[in-house]
Chain A
Amino acid sequence: MDVSADESTERSLRELIAAAELTRAPELESLMTLLGHRLIRGGRLAEAADLVNSASTHGVRLGAAARQLAQAQLRSGDTTHAAVTIREVLKRDPSDVEAQRLLYRLLKGAGQGVEAHGALNRLVELDPTSACATFAYRERPKLGEIAGRPVRIALLSSYVLDPLVPFLDVECRRAGLTPEFYIAPYNQYTQDILSPASGLYAFGPDIVFLALDLEDLFAAVRGLPSIEELARSKAEIHGTIVALVRELRSRSSALIVVHELALNSPSPHGILDNRRGDGLVQWTADLDRDLAQALTAETHTFLLPLRAILARVGLERGQSRKLRYMARMRHADPALRELARASIRYIKPLKGLTRKCVVVDLDGTLWGGVVGELGPEGIQLGPAAPGIEYVDFQEALLNLTKRGILLAICSKNNPDDVLPVLRDHKHMVLREEHFSAMRINWRNKAENLAELAAELNIGRDALVFLDDNPVERELVRQMLPEVLVVEMPKDASQYRSTLEDLTDFELLAVTREDEQRGNQYQANRKRQALEQSSGSLDQYLHSLEIRAEIGSAQAHHVARLVQMFNKTNQFNTTTRRYQTPDVQRFVASTDRHVYVLDVADRFGDHGLVGAAVVREEGDAWVIDNVLLSCRVMGLSVETALLTEISDAAARRGVTRLAGEFIPTPKNAPCADFFGRHGFRADGEAGGTQRWVLDLDAGRIETPSWITATAKRAT
């Protein structure tokens, strides 16, 4: 190596750079990159770092060189400087995949498990390919377990669906879940379902996806089947799937999600397809419609709208014939990603991860412009562009309220500027009454959000925050990491689709309580006003005119009960997350008693807000679980529920009532439930406290401010 020539090359490079810096010549970037590579190759990392810094002060982005520098720093063990370099690269280009990969390595090396998991999630978001998702999937076990809620997912398929797993894994991790997967052996879904000793049942899934390909069930569909063949096959396919679902249901209480059957290719009849009796497009649609109807009648079973999901990416991008021929796969990367996003929509509500409230900013979010400067008539909001994009977005928000999602406002504004818009602006879709709570002030938004959660009596992890201002978003992300802060696009015409892409608002069933939730918070504001005007708590409680009705659960209560079992965290004595088939079994059985509590007061009907499961154990009744919606906590209505349970037990000659309590990080509000009703502690086993009450010692009295009625089964 000719050292002197090398040194002179470097000297001339530096001279050229100095000259280019003065003249701001466009070749500065390439010159600096050259020098950077040279320094890194020579192991002169500190000098390279100086160069990268000086480049950024001159407004030059040395992406590739900076990434190389970080890699070299990492290899030399200088993680501190590597971190600085990588973060600098990502600050300038947040979508730099390679830099994100380095950041992940760095966090993993530093033993920062939680952050490393987050970096992997982001990495797959930036590079949504099977290769990258598979990399992330394999890395997870190396990071050590984090305290994610577990979920057990089974995939049964007539084709190779394994590549969905890495994508679904990422979706679960983003939701804070730690998934376990079971994949049935290739094309053995039938054996797996029919055999009680199969791997599927040994696995014990929470959710089963049944993905059958139309061509695998009906090979002749690839040709030109006759009308008779089509009719026969339709009945056969329908019968096969319904039978499989029923078998599965008889052995598992898992949520069952069946993929719709879709055509993989254009109809072989071409443009004549919908003009003939044996056309395939209409036939497939009919098959799926019948299937949807049949599955609606089955417990805890859904039909996944595969066609609409795949339509989002299109046949062109979503399918690869090559993958089909080489590996019996059906879906290419973009389709797998879309399918994973659709699948998580079932998993989130199953695991009680449905978010309950959307908190919106106003200026720039619900309308264009700043109302404090432009006045109500100056803002962008109306039937034509610009302005129509905000109307459309507001309509999507209003739709969410119809399934019980609450809306709240958090805006830096003067209430006097904003309220006229909410009340009188001709084109506002959302009005004051649609918002369950508001914070319109100049305070820190993180504090406001925390207050909103407290006022609505929901967890901060139930909030979604929508704000066009990235500074506010970052503040909330930092201070309240449990809030879902949505990365709003700069372009308001994408607001609505951004909201619709969120997978956090799904419900497995909409109950009467969901539909009326918005009104209930309205009534709450009136209750609060009354509380403030009352002289004492006792006087307030009496003036509420509370009515509690306790009855035995019937079949029509099941949907609401399942929702409560899975959503209630605070007043939930054992947090046993019963699913539909469990609750149906309890309701039908004679050795379990399920009680439901309906509460109303002078401001309105709260609906079904309490429940208890009691099981008979020898001569004692054991209270397996007691739940109370946070909306009625503090009214002592749970005492009315307990009164009815103890009375019923006494009527049946039972002398001893026992209760179980399993403490969780969230259920402190009911830790004293048994204690304050006269139960005495009776030991603890495996994290479950046991409490007992001798029924002959006396009756549990319902407080005088509650009018309780028992609706007894005859």
Chain B
Amino acid sequence: MSSVEEVVARVFDAEPDSLDASSSPESVEGWDSMGHLNLIAALEKDFNVSIDIGDAMEMVSVKRIREILLDYGVRA
């Protein structure tokens, strides 16, 4: 199973090494509103979950994504 960083890296074509828990729309090129939708779609597919809209809108950093995914029983 992939990590949150790996998914973010793939969606935005970023170097995995350049990402950490604090990575967010401010620090990752392409993580804009459309990019966010693509990221949510990729997270849903990779971790086989369906993310609630409220949660999706709160997933604004790698750290938050990881925390919220825990609520879905996903450790990533």
Contacts and interface: CB of A to CB of B under 8 A. Distances in A.
B30 A134 contact: yes
Contacts of A580: none
Chain A CB within 10 A, most for which of B33, B39, B41: B41
Interface in A143-164: 162-163
Contacts of A162: 34
Contacts of B11: 131
Given A131-B10, A131-B11, A322-B56, A327 B33 contact: yes
Interface in B2-24: 10-13
Nearest to A127: B10
Nearest to B29: A138
Nearest to A166: B34
B42 interface: yes
A343 interface: no
Interface in A119-155: 129-131, 134-135, 138
B53 A325 contact: yes
A129 B34 contact: no
Nearest to A138: B30
Contact of A131 (B42, B53, B56): B42
Given A131-B11, A131-B41, A333-B41, A163 B53 contact: no
A163 B40 CA distance: 15
Contacts of B41: 129-131, 333
A130 B38 contact: yes
A134 B35 contact: yes
Given A138-B30, A327-B33, A131 B38 contact: yes
Nearest to A160: B34
Interface in B40-56: 40-42, 53, 56
Contacts of B56: 322, 326
B interface, how many residues as a size bin? 10 to 19
Interface of A is mostly: helix
Given A322-B53, A326-B53, A129 B38 contact: yes
A163 B53 CA distance: 19
Contacts of B30: 134-135, 138
A475 interface: no
Q: Taking each of A129, A322, A327, which has the highest tally of chain B beta carbons within 10 Å of its own beta carbon?
A: A322
A594 B27 CA distance: 60
A298 to B, nearest CB: 33
A97 to B, nearest CB: 9
Nearest to A327: B37
B13 A130 contact: no
Contacts of A130: 34, 37-38, 41
Contacts of B13: 135
A326 B57 CA distance: 8
Contacts of A135: 12-13, 30
B37 A323 contact: yes
B11 to A, nearest CB: 5
Q: Looking at B11, B12, B34, B40, which has the most chain A CB atoms within 10 Å of its CB?
A: B34
Contacts of A163: 34, 37
A160 to B, nearest CB: 9
Nearest to B30: A138
A162 B56 CA distance: 20
A322 B11 CA distance: 19
Contacts of A138: 30
Nearest to A105: B13
6 contacts: A130-B34, A130-B41, A131-B11, A131-B42, A162-B34, A333-B41
Given A131-B35, A135-B12, A135-B30, 16 more contacts: A129-B38, A129-B41, A130-B38, A130-B41, A131-B10, A131-B38, A134-B34, A135-B13, A138-B30, A163-B37, A322-B56, A323-B37, A326-B53, A327-B33, A327-B34, A329-B37
